[in-house]
Amino acid sequence: MKSHAALAARFLKDPERARWHDEALWFVREKRDRLARAVPGWEELRDTAHAIKRHALANLPMYLEEFEKNAAARGAVVHYAVDAVEHNRIVLDILKARGARLLAKSKSMLTEECGLNEFLEANGVEVVETDLGERIIQFAGERPSHIVLPAIHKKKEEVGEIFHRHLGTAAGESDPTALARAARAHLREKFLAAPAGLSGVNFAVAETGALVICTNEGNADLVTSLPDLHIAVMGVEKLIPRSRDLAVFTRLLARSATGQPVTAYTSHLLGPRPGQEMHIVIVDNGRSDILKSARFHRAAFCLRCAACLNTCPVFRRSGGHTYNYVIPGPIGTILAPHRDLKKYKDMPFASSLCGSCSAVCPVKIDIHRQIVLWRNEIVEAGCLGRVKSAALKTMTAVMRRTRLFAAAGALGRRALRLTPRFLYNNKLTIWGATRDLPEMPAKSFRAQYKAYRRTGKIEGDRM
């Protein structure tokens, strides 16, 4: 498995594409800014959302019980899955019991996290993603590069090529409207044919047992209402106490995610429609462990809005596929190590710690602080790497002794002044490959300061 640094370097080999990717997401970030500024009390809304999440997740057992009771009263069957394996098994069993071999699916990052599609396909169930972006990458045999805009890394010409191969659109056709039309015709067949539909969940309301699904394409509404079997899957953290809490979250969600005032569809499902079976699978898959952690529990507050991806200067310039975990970007960076610290040890280092992620997060997760705390966990687990560890240890040893530091500094500056610049400003050094080192002054600050206090004059180099 290649590190983020290596994969990002490869991504940046095509600077034009990298800038296109950066601009596309920055456009969304700017839309988000404009929309956020139009809402009175935006920052208070974020505080309130944070407080609701903290409260709901601190009282999870109570709200789970309340939700289950109310959802069951409306005719839904509630299942609990402790992990991905159990989640996949429950979904397959429900499908098998009804003999369903075709599943129409709307977008769900949880199923990506659990590897549901691969599991179902291996067990003879055809899975059709009905979100346009998800369908594109399903055709391409890739994983989402972004949690809200899964095919953001594909240009329209590439989508045209994929549709030409899979849907028989005209070769070279890359007009978005024509391609969307072709996808719609194709998906309509699937909607009508599928005996079962599976959806994710944005919010589950404890006091009513309602599921709330926020989408833009209307595909989730077809998936949840057309088939006689609807399976909704959700992480435990989707639970909110009351309907009125939705007023806070729906105001934040679409603005943060895509810079829309609200998603085109905000569907409230209060039990199955007549003649339909509804199953709700509530999944833990490590969330309880996150909630138990003093340093990292707030990561579980995440709404999966992707505002932190859109704003992240590193994500925009490296793309979602350079992060090895299923959820990329800043939020993925603080979720992945919970899954496997060693496997994802490069991710927390794929950040300049600029803090923009924490500042856009609608539920105020301290993302950049958690990133640096994860770096500490990696160091403590002995996973930083020998060269980096040794370099930092040496640096510390020098910095602890002021005289040694001053002497080493003098030596280093002298060496740099005497060495021909091409020897260090070159492709073979990490810094010097792209950047010149500063020209080193003859005297340090401490030396200049002493002389200044003695003589009242500034010596040495001024600009």
Near another protein in 330-389, by CB under 8 A: 348-356, 358-360, 372-380, 384, 388-389
Q: What is the 3-state secondary structure (H, E, C) of the chain?
A: CCCHHHHHHHHCCCHHHHHHHHHHHHHHHHHHHHHHHCCCCHHHHHHHHHHHHHHHHHCHHHHHHHHHHHHHHCCEEEEEECCHHHHHHHHHHHHHHCCCCEEEECCCHHHHHHCHHHHHHHCCCEEEECCHHHHHHHHHCCCCCCCCCCCCCCCHHHHHHHHHHHHCCCCCCCCHHHHHHHHHHHHHHHHHHCCEEEECCCEEECCCCEEEEEECCCHHHHHHHCCCEEEEEEEHHHEECCCCHHHHHHHHHHHHHHCCCCCCEEEEECCCCCCCEEEEEEECCCHHHHHHCCCCHHHHHCCCCCHHHHHCHHHHCCCHHHCCCCCCHHHHHHHHHHHCCCCCCCHHHCCCCCCHHHHHCCCCCCHHHHHHHHHHHHHHCCCCCHHHHHHHHHHHHHHHCHHHHHHHHHHHHHHHHHCCHHHCCCCCCCCCCCCCCCCCCCCCHHHHHHHHHHHCCCCCCCC
| Residue 74 or 317 with smaller CB distance to another protein | 317
Determine, following the binding rule CB under 8 A, whether residue 461 of this chain makes contact with another protein. Answer: yes
Residue in 48, 108, 117, 318 binding another protein, rule: CB under 8 A? 318
Q: How far is the CB of 293 from another protein (least distance, A)?
A: 15
Segment near another protein (CB under 8 A), from 64-72, 96-104, 147-155, 314-322? 314-322
Q: 116 to 175, contacts with another protein by CB under 8 A?
A: none
Range 406-425, binding another protein (CB under 8 A): 409, 412-413, 425
Residues 13-72 that bind another protein (CB under 8 A): 15, 18-19, 22, 26, 33, 36-37, 39, 42-43
* Residue 202 sits in the site that holds another protein (CB under 8 A): no
| Residue 107 or 368 with smaller CB distance to another protein | 368
Residue placing its CB nearer to another protein in the complex, 33 or 207:
33
Does 438 bind another protein (CB under 8 A)? Our answer is yes
Site membership for another protein, residue 103 (CB under 8 A): no
Q: Which of 395, 407, 415, 423 is in the footprint of another protein by CB under 8 A?
A: 395
Question: Closer to another protein at the Cβ: 264 or 381?
Answer: 381
Minimum CB separation of residue 346 from another protein in Å reads 9
Residue 454 in the binding site for another protein (CB under 8 A): no
How many residues of this chain bind another protein (CB under 8 A)?
A: 80
